[in-house]
Amino acid sequence: MPNHTVESSIDNKEFSIRSIIAPLMAVIVGMIMVILDSTVVNVAVPKLVDFFATDLKTVQWTITGYTLALSAVIPLAGWMTDKFGEKRIFLMTIALFTIGSVLCAVAQTPEQLIVYRIIQGLGGGMVSPIGFAMVFKLAPPEKRGAVMGALGVPMLMAPALGPVLSGWLVENVSWHWIFLINLPIGIVAFLIGLRFLPKSSRREAPQLDKLGMILAPIAFAMLTYGVSEGGTSWTSASTITGLSVGGLALLLYIIVEIRHQQPLLELRVFRSSHFTRGIILVWIAQAALFGSMILTPLYLQQVRGYNALETGIYLLPQALMSAFFMPISGRLFDRVGARPLAFIGLGIVSTALFLLSRITAETPLAMVLVPLGLLGGGMGLTMMPLNTHILNSAPRHLVARVTPLMTAAQQVIVSFAVAGLTGYLTSQISSHMKEAAQGGNPLEAAASGFGDTYFLASCIAAVGFLLTLFLSKPKKQAEAGKDSASEGTQPDPSLLTGH
């Protein structure tokens, strides 16, 4: 036993990030490819609408279908790696994502693009959770902070650079290249991973929750469809059908998950009132933040006439302010807890969205960029503390199961928000255009539609702002899971922050 301890300490002393740079690069390249792809499409939406001669409600399903596919496979990551090994599944998901990207680039109809984006999502959904788990195991416990920090820098920069890269490609080459660029990146990630990622042993996989696997996509897809149609009319047959079928499937899914011994998503954590209040607050914040992210590129291009590259550059303040405040909020959380940070952060978010709701076709650019910067800063202050609060609130023996629940739920909420707000935007623009037909300015009518939608997002954020008053510090729990924590099963809250 003493010899083992001495060897361990020597290994830890000799460890440096340089010693794992090759496998770390395989994970970083793969994850950057996936994260970039979650941001590049927003800027390209107007071009896709024009190219396919379709409408915004159809094209938004290229985003919604992708996020729903992500949410469907994230809970399967643990089971798949137990069954087949982490390295094999990581390489398979990189390959599937790359194939999906090439298919997206050659899509001839919006329906084809939506299907191929779903294939992309099925591949991309497992890349991040498996990648983080592999990197987590590459370093000794006392060096994991440094390793995760090295991983975190490109993870924060990818969302900032995504819109700029997308804008340049769309403007100077074609929209096809926002997907085709993934081919060389995917090949590089696959080859580096094949050569340098350590082989992982298979473990006995738990019983697969097959019924939950079927019900979840039906529930979330139909509810998203219903919310999307509801933006036009809440009483239409398509809206009622979507919400009814989705609601019934969701109810059955909840019953199945509660009764299953090894559920896809661990719903028993909702018995903790601290956890429930925290995650509801996160969902509200995500709906306001990520739902509004699709609005700004559309406004800048369709109303203000900026090209895709200019739009990508103008979106930089939001991403950079988020990256700046995120580590600050992480340090402040240890001192003051989640409530004051979330209170201030969501106050800033709701204020920024309200300022954006006042935009017109003639609003000075600075009056758009300042609220965008505030929006990013508010996001940076809010998300890290709330994610940490949720992890602290979960019963210790269920903490490892909370991560897939949070990441899958985030993708579902994002799909709801994008579908709902784009549906509402389309409806409001149509309404204002009818008024403009009687002698008004069409651009002002479109700007008014964007203003109405930003105002709805600000109201959602304001509800979250008020709910922060009900947050309280969870009581310290007995360290029943001490052993598991020492093995590296404790998730890092920074990894749960959406991009």
Domains (range + CATH), the chain: 17-203 (1.20.1250.20), 209-261 (no CATH), 269-499 (1.20.1250.20)
Kindly report the pTM of this predicted structure. 0.78
**More confident site: 221 or 481:** 221
| pLDDT tier, 475 (very low <50, low <70, confident <90, very high otherwise) | low
pLDDT in tens, 159-218: 778 888 889 999 899 999 999 999 999 999 999 999 888 887 666 666 778 888 888 888
Given a cut of 70, whether residue 156 has pLDDT beyond it is: no
The residue with tokens 């090949």 is 187
Of 209 and 49, the structure prediction assigns the larger pLDDT to 49
Looking at per-residue confidence, does 281 or 73 come out higher? 281
pLDDT, average across residues 271-291: 88
pLDDT above 70: residue 79: yes
Name the residue among 128, 119, 112, 110 with its Cα closest to residue 68.
119
* Interatomic CA distance for residues 110 and 114, integer angstroms: 6
Among 322, 377, 361, 403, smallest CA distance to 130 is for 403
Q: What was the pLDDT predicted at 400?
A: 62
Question: Phi first, then psi: what are they for 449, rounded to 5°?
Answer: -65, -40
Q: In 319-345, which positions are buried (b, 16+ CB within 10 angstroms) versus exposed (e)?
A: bbbbbebbeebbebbeeebbbbbbbbb
Percent of the chain scoring above 70 in pLDDT = 84
| Segment 380-417, tens digit of pLDDT | 899 888 888 887 887 776 666 677 778 778 888 888 88
Q: Kindly tell me if the per-residue pLDDT of 236 is higher than 80.
A: yes
CA distance from start to end of the chain: 45
**Cα–chain-centroid distance for residue 93?**
18
**Mean pLDDT over the full length of the chain:** 83
Mean per-residue pLDDT for 451-458? 95
User: How far, in Å, CA of 106 to CA of 112, rounded?
Assistant: 9
Look at residue 491 in the predicted model and tell me its pLDDT.
52
